[in-house]
Amino acid sequence: MLAKRPILAAIFLLAAAGAQAQTMTAEQAKEFVSGGLFSYRCFDGTNGAGRIFTDGSALGSLRATGRGQTRYMQLPPNTLYVSGSQVCAHLKGLPFEPCFNLVKTGANSFRGSLSHMSFMYCDFNKGGSVMQLARRRGASEKTEPKPAEASSVGDMQLRR
């Protein structure tokens, strides 16, 4: 009976290893993410939905820390770019250009975290439609807000 335990443990470990997440290269991430609509939830409660385009631009909604109003933002082309094996962001006003670790966690999901700061992450789930993006505004908003364009950190005050 005791001899079976190591075998069961080995089978469990092999099964768990097969189910582990896969780190994506920058090119794999670009192919997986580009054009798709993703909903997301971050470690601090921030959530929303958005789309990243092949030109490095992005459009989406953001509800900081999961409270308050949902904001809409638009990042211009070349904001997100591939640098070597990583995806990075260029935002004027930051003293550095943040890069991200992207790990595929399922057939339609991935986790993105700041390089060297894995505790600062967002989980992204692929799917849905543009209507999901619009519904995230909240029932109390009556007007159709225009997206804000942020070309720098200082410009990231998002319009309603």
CATH number for the domain harbouring residue 117: 2.40.128
Q: Is the pTM of this model over 0.75?
A: no
Q: Say whether pLDDT at 41 is over 60.
A: yes
Range of the structural domain that residue 63 is part of? 21-155
What dihedral do alpha carbons 129, 90, 74, 29 form, nearest 10°? -10
In a domain, 101, yes or no: yes
In a domain, 15, yes or no: no
Number of domains in the chain: 1
Give the pLDDT confidence of 63-110 residue by residue, as tens digits: 999 898 999 989 999 999 998 888 999 877 888 899 999 999 999 999
Please state, in angstroms and rounded to a whole number, the distance separating the CA atoms of residues 33 and 95. Answer: 27
In a domain, 6, yes or no: no
In a domain, 150, yes or no: yes
Residue 124 CB-half CA count within 13 A:
23
In a domain, 5, yes or no: no
Give the pLDDT confidence of 106-141 residue by residue, as tens digits: 999 999 999 988 899 999 999 854 544 554 444 444
In a domain, 14, yes or no: no
Q: Say whether pLDDT at 149 is over 80.
A: no
In a domain, 100, yes or no: yes
In a domain, 30, yes or no: yes
Quick count: other Cβ atoms within 10 Å of Cβ 150? 20
Report pLDDT for 14. 36
